[in-house]
Structure 1
Amino acid sequence: MESVRKAIQRPQPLPVVLLVFPFRQPQSPGGKPASSPVVEGLKKAMGSYVQITKVDTDAQPEITRTFNVQQLPAFILFDHGLEVWRHEGTIDGQILNQLVQQKVESL
């Protein structure tokens, strides 16, 4: 939890997308959790404009309570520690990219 707080609250040049989802996915090579195409698309489209921080709800269940996450996956955008946008539930990757890009451009 502390590492998540530091990621969203420290002063930094980039907004932070907090990605909250269960890691109940098959492990990929190298021991890292497999990422969905939506997450990979967001990284590719917005990687130089936002910092993406993944949170495993299985390992850190308090995150869902702290940020009042009602549905997974959850994408929460923070700017200087303040939540400025959120989407909960599944979403098409292109639509997610457009929504995040629009919000980041308006900051």
Structure 2
Amino acid sequence: MTTPTSPSTGPAEAAVLLVLLPVTMGTTHTAQNALNADLNALQHKLGSIIRLLRIPETSHPAVVRSFQPDELPAMVLVQQGVEIWRQQGLPDGDAIIPLLMSKIQPLNNTTTLIS
């Protein structure tokens, strides 16, 4: 089974939006369902260009700490292992989509890094 990608990005080049979630986030069943629905809707709108990955502090505390967030929840956008954007809090509406899209870099085999 293959994962669809846009013409400008392949699976290794796709950006990943890490959603770092605190221990207390969505402690009620209703709150957890609402959070999951919001994040699923965001992933659907982002398509295959940006993959959304939830990282709960309860199950992955070392991973969450490795990003040294000032507060949780937080979002970190990474592309090819490099952090390109960060925000405290969760997305508020669809305004986040064009912002995220503007941050990612279309990459291809002819791209070279300049230091």
TM-score of the aligned structures, taking structure 1 as reference length: 0.69
Q: Which residue of 2 aligns with 1:42?
A: 42
Computing the radius of gyration over CA atoms, which structure comes out larger, 1 or 2? 2
Q: Which residue of 2 aligns with 1:102?
A: 102
The secondary structure found in structure 2 opposite 1:34 is: helix
Q: Which residue of 1 aligns with 2:70?
A: 70
The secondary structure found in structure 1 opposite 2:33 is: coil
Aligned length, in residue pairs: 92
Moved over 6 A (4+): none
Q: How well do the aligned residues superpose, as a CA RMSD in angstroms?
A: 2.4
1:18-51 superposed Cα distances (whole Å, 9 cap, x missing partner): 11113642458xxxx6352542332121022111
Contact 1:74 1:89 in 2 (8 A): yes
Contact 1:15 1:51 in 2 (8 A): yes
Give 5+ residue unaligned stretches, structure 2: 1-10, 107-115
Distance 1:84 1:45 in 2: 20
Greater helix fraction, Structure 1 or Structure 2: 1
Percent identity between the two aligned chains: 25
